[in-house]
Chain A
Amino acid sequence: MMARVAPSLRGKNTRMAMTEQTTEDPKRMAEFEARIARGESIEPKDWMPERYRSQLIRMMSQHAHSEIVGMLPEGNWITRAPSLRRKMTLLAKVQDEAGHGLYIYCGTETLGVDRTELVDQLLSGKAKYSSIFNYPTLTWADMGVIGWFVDGAAIVNQTVLAKASYGPYARAMIRICKEENFHKKQGYEIIATLASGTPKQKAMAQDAVNRWWWPSLMMLGPSDANSPNTAELIRWKVKRKTNDELRQRFADITVPQAQAVGLTLPDPDLKYNEASGHWEHGAIDWDEFWAVVKGNGPCNRERLAARRAAHDEGKWVRDAATAHAEKQARRKRSAAA
């Protein structure tokens, strides 16, 4: 018997609208759940519930958008980096973020959604991205803290996502995790240098830590009690840890690193629990988190405006590349004729 062959490597996205009720074939659904339970990897052309597909499209595209928007706060400082070494490394980091966005867009496309559609959703303001990038970068020390805290938190999250049940997502995460350690180290080096510098430099580092600590804790997502998607994503092994578990891990890693460079974290309630072995932080201001998520953070509008401007100003480059490809194709045809 001849097996049917599929023309492309993509999955098909037949129903974009999220269906809240499960209308899936129970038998296929049971098979799918059994595969997940066995720890199998789901690949683009495998059968999957539409809800799994739509949740992944939502989550992965938000993740990709975050990488792209994440270039903006740091991009602001490339021309103002204090030395050539710092400029080179910051530039390389921002280039990596672009690459990371592309890895994840590529993974999202395997679910049967077009890249242009995803980009449209970002530019129109319809799509969400990480709340953290809606905070301003006021001083050079912010470049240090972003690498240390923001990339540090991202590593905690992505290390776990590297075991996600959807193959293309997990593979993109593995690739990203390999590169992300450089980001965190370059940030921490900036902070360690400032913290051991003049009193003014140390104060600058401390100020940046004070401004970024809470938003960094928030970026790992709403608390488990208010995270409507978590249970389903954990059941399908897209997520392997809850937001609060990831947040705890981030705090446990980061507090000793702050102590090592003589900086304090702006939380009077922060304390080490001998019994559990965890650093317990104080209450998070979730009102601030939701305000930023809903578009009212300090820089939401500025970030989107900058992204749109970059897209519009890049149009001539895309047009030129298209025209060049057309010209080459014409030349090839006339040479063959």
Chain B
Amino acid sequence: MRKSRRAENVRPRPERNLAGEPGSTGSKAPPADKAGDGADSQWPLWEVFVQPAQGAAYEHSGSVHAPDAEGALQNARDVYSRRGEAIGIWVVPSTAITASKPEDQGPFFDPADDKIYRHPQFYKIPRGLKGF
């Protein structure tokens, strides 16, 4: 079923719900009750963010499939932290993430390009002043 869909799918793939069902859109909450249907289907996809050390920012590590958040957390630990690489893990349903589009990179980010006065190098300070 998935394969035939692929052949027809010439447009950007529809947003999947977390059960991986084609065509159902809109639901952002993990519909754990739809993940299985008894068939051997694919579990929802979760993005994994890991905090490597005390005080460090969480960083994207990769993704895991799991039937629910708790399972995703456990899978993320087993896949991305087998050697103490993490002191904290976040898992987020992949479909809940909104990302900027690469083709809009220019217009989306250019408001920052002409504001060089946001950098300290823009400003002049009197010569001879040490240790500003």
Contacts and interface: CB of A to CB of B under 8 A. Distances in A.
B2 interface: yes
Given A14-B9, A328-B68, A9 B97 contact: yes
Contacts of A96: 82
B89 interface: no
Name the residue in B7, B33, B67 with the highest tally of chain A Cβ atoms < 10 Å from its Cβ: B67
A14 B107 contact: no
A287 B48 CA distance: 44
27 contacts: A3-B100, A3-B101, A4-B101, A5-B98, A5-B100, A6-B100, A7-B15, A8-B15, A8-B94, A8-B97, A9-B94, A9-B97, A13-B9, A14-B9, A14-B12, A99-B79, A102-B62, A103-B79, A107-B62, A112-B13, A115-B45, A116-B20, A116-B41, A171-B62, A179-B83, A321-B67, A325-B70
Interface in B52-107: 62-68, 70-71, 78-79, 82-83, 94-95, 97-104, 107
B32 A47 contact: no
B67 A322 contact: yes
B93 to A, nearest CB: 10
Given A95-B82, A109-B45, A114-B2, A328 B62 contact: no
A16 B42 CA distance: 19
B104 A3 contact: yes
B10 interface: yes
Contacts of A8: 15-16, 94-95, 97, 99
A138 B75 CA distance: 33
Interface string B1-40: 0110011011111011000100000000011110110101
> Could you say which interface size class chain A belongs to?
35 or more
B43 interface: yes
Interface of A: 1, 3-10, 12-16, 43, 45-47, 92, 95-96, 99, 102-103, 106-107, 109, 112, 114-117, 171-172, 179, 315, 318-319, 321-326, 328-330
Contact of A330 (B3, B33, B35, B79): B33
A83 B7 CA distance: 52
A69 B65 CA distance: 20
A3 B105 CA distance: 8
Contacts of B10: 14-15
Contacts of B95: 7-8
A117 B3 contact: yes
B112 to A, nearest CB: 13
Given A3-B101, A5-B99, A329 B62 contact: no
Contacts of B65: 115
Contacts of B20: 114, 116
Contact of B42 (A46, A114, A325): A114
A45 B102 contact: yes
Contacts of A10: 13, 94
B97 A325 contact: no
Nearest to B28: A7
Contacts of B43: 318, 322
A330 B35 CA distance: 13
A99 B100 contact: no
A9 B35 contact: no
A112 B82 CA distance: 27
A69 B3 CA distance: 24
Contacts of B12: 12, 14
Contacts of A116: 2, 20, 41-42
A134 to B, nearest CB: 26
Contacts of A6: 98-101
